[in-house]
Structure 1
């Protein structure tokens, strides 16, 4: 496996095409300037020791040296050993509500972004546990299968928005059932789900789904997003609020947290219920409960050692710079006297 320890240095390679363009422009300017002085053959006789090809050779060598230097500073590394690393963890599935009501701004900046920030903090604090994500509104979809790749989890989290599920609603029961299908119960690892929702527009039997999961020792924890007073659901146009959702009578719809439903789901699933606030997402309390779960060892392959290879590229860069330094723009007098291909006139 190849990786770069300081990948940000590779941005220096963007300077290479700029150098090439500048060199070509300067070369054309010099050529035009010489053409204004007179006939090219006459100019060569006037300046017999000046080489017009060596600047090109020097530039090519300099560009190669610069490229090797940038790659060396980025420090390419090669993974030398792949071994089975034993980890001890549990499986955690996040069920995130992405219905339009999650755009209500009774939590800053809105309910969905508040939840995503909390999940990002959760991922940062995970070590050996595996994580997956399911998004739901009127239907549920697996956004990220169970994985120990936290970088992938952050990437998928950033793509979540309310437009990714076309059917509106809050199908919590379907999301819980999909979470159960996503688990591999043969591995014997402890499992739990965290439902993050406002519980509004509830349309299936989420309590029964939570009770069924508890029978298989999968705890369902619920984090309520929103407030009892509620807030209107904004309509966006070109990234800006263009109004609010209204009902059939033209009244502004106020979305409120269905706290009773959230408590019932958590109780049926044998988990904890916490209401999120602007100052506390509630995930710390839920993670304390998850921390009590029994962890089981599982294996995952990883590269144990990475060997640095910057020395090779820096050495090449040094010798190229040294060669470029000793190439003069003037012709070598001894070599210029050798006219191997000149035909003598009789």
Structure 2
């Protein structure tokens, strides 16, 4: 049992004070009345106005008490309804350097990564997801959100060179993700980092950044994308799978290598299977409204008060 608006009951002492003041006024008026004979005085005593007045005061007090109780909205607890969702906090971290335009994946590496990332977002309806892009620097394109439509729209809009500084700053990208996740409550925090090269920019080494991620219990899945011999019009410096594997191992994640579109899609499906956890939210307490009961009783008390007024009695 609870009162949704208990402050309404604070008015009850004022109501009692008003009723006491009104009663004193009626008593003073009766005492001031004179009688023309002792016979009339004896007759007035037989009417027992004091008893009627007390009954009226009691009706008034009950009416106001019930009305205030109605306004306070009493509710009865029906128990807790657990709200458990399958979900975690995931940041997609995509390399947008110029080498991501290589066409060994169709139509190119970046577009292939965007396509599988969009499919991944659709497969995680209960997760909060965000997007970080990086090349020579790292930028947060979308913070963690459950608004997946907006996230997918932002995914579609990224392009090679969006950061306006070329290079591959993997360490900076990881730290940017850590800063987005470290103050988020919960134990399930994941970064999916995709790159087609090796770290050659930024102030932070990838392995140092991985240690920071491990401190905050952030798992990193690293994906190296592209073939060893690029058949597109761009050639990168090659994928540093050794560093990516070490980063993943130190953070409790896993490293993958994708050389074609289907392989890349399968990697995201595997990550989807690996990251299925139960996240319990605060249970919802169900209540039944009880305000109708004092409300109906207060309305019923109006009728005797109106009847007394109709008969000319003081109310």
> So what's the TM-score if we normalise by structure 2?
0.58
**1:152 CA drift (Å):** 0.6
Q: Within 1, Cα distance between the matches of 2:247 and 2:233? A: 24
Matches within 5 A, 1:142-161: 142-161=140-159
CA offsets, 1:96-118, max 9 Å, x none? 00000111111121110110011
Q: Which residue of structure 1 aligns with residue 228 of structure 2?
A: 228
Matches within 5 A, 1:100-111: 100-111=98-109
Contact 1:92 1:192 (C-alpha < 8 Å) held by counterparts: yes
Within the candidate set 256, 259, 280, 2:263 is matched to 280
Q: Which residue of structure 2 aligns with residue 332 of structure 1?
A: none
**1:294 CA drift (Å):** 4.9
Give the number of the structure whose alpha-carbon radius of gyration is greater. 2
Contact 1:170 1:199 (C-alpha < 8 Å) held by counterparts: yes
Q: Within 2, Cα distance between the matches of 1:141 and 1:181? A: 12
Q: Does 1:290 align with 2:279?
A: no
**1:176 CA drift (Å):** 1.0
Matches within 5 A, 1:64-213: 87-183=85-181, 185-203=183-201, 204-213=204-213
Give the secondary-structure state (helix, strand or coil) at the position aligned to 1:162.
coil
Q: Which residue of structure 2 aligns with residue 51 of structure 1?
A: none
CA offsets, 1:134-173, max 9 Å, x none? 0000000000000001101111001100131111111111
**1:287 CA drift (Å):** 1.9
Q: Within 2, Cα distance between the matches of 1:171 and 1:136? A: 7
> So what's the TM-score if we normalise by structure 1?
0.53
What CA RMSD, in Å, does the superposition of the two structures yield over aligned residues? 2.4
Which ranges in structure 2 are unaligned for 5 or more consecutive residues?
1-82, 284-315
**1:132 CA drift (Å):** 0.3
Q: Which residue of structure 2 aligns with residue 267 of structure 1?
A: 249
Q: Within 2, Cα distance between the matches of 1:298 and 1:104? A: 47
Which ranges in structure 1 are unaligned for 5 or more consecutive residues?
1-84, 235-252, 300-346
**1:269 CA drift (Å):** 2.1
Q: Within 2, Cα distance between the matches of 1:210 and 1:148? A: 26
| Cα 1:167/1:142, change in 2 over 3 Å | same
Q: Within 2, Cα distance between the matches of 1:265 and 1:233? A: 30
Contact 1:233 1:254 (C-alpha < 8 Å) held by counterparts: no
| Cα 1:228/1:125, change in 2 over 3 Å | same
Q: Which structure has greater helix proportion?
A: 2
Paired residues in the alignment total: 198
